Amino acid sequence: MPFGTLITAVAMLQASAGNAEAVDVAFEEMVAQENTAAIERIEASNALDADDPAQLINLGIAYAREGRIVEARAALQAAAKAETRYRLETASGDWVDSRWLAKKALAMLDQGQLTEGRRFASR
């Protein structure tokens, strides 16, 4: 999976119990790299859940793109440690474990790869 070209798109989640659940993760805003709008949309979501890895991953990436590194790291670390765990569909169509994706995003953050202009997403 080429992480340098992924688009942040965590939109459809498949819960471990097998129930599909739609969560607002600002997919369109993330793809368009409208980071401020993505942050506002995720933070304003009625379904905002501090333990939802999909929201936390996209929020962390949007923060990173805006240069809000401390907040980005906190959101991504929370996703990596979240008790809730999903298989997330990336924009490239791959399904990956949410903790793995969060840890990969943290590594990319450490390497400076989640800055404005990069595209990374999970759905």
Structural domains of the chain ordered from first start = 3-110 (1.25.40)
Helix axis angle, 35-44 relative to 53-65, nearest 10°?
A: 150
The DSSP element (H or E) to which 89 belongs, if any, is: strand 86-89
With b for 16 or more beta-carbon neighbours within 10 A and e for fewer, the 81-104 pattern comes to ebebebebbbbeeeeeebbebbbb
- pLDDT tier at 24, thresholds 50, 70, 90: confident
The three-state secondary structure class of 113 is: coil
Cα 2–56–117 angle (5° rounding)?
A: 45
- What does the pLDDT average to over 8-26? 50
On the question of pLDDT at 97 being above 80, the answer is: yes
Kindly tell me if the per-residue pLDDT of 13 is higher than 80: no
**3 state SS of 45:** coil
Q: SS3 for 61?
A: helix
Residue 83 has which token pair? 């008790």
pLDDT at 2 over 90: no
pTM score of the predicted model = 0.78
Question: pLDDT tens for residues 36-56?
Answer: 999 999 988 766 667 789 899
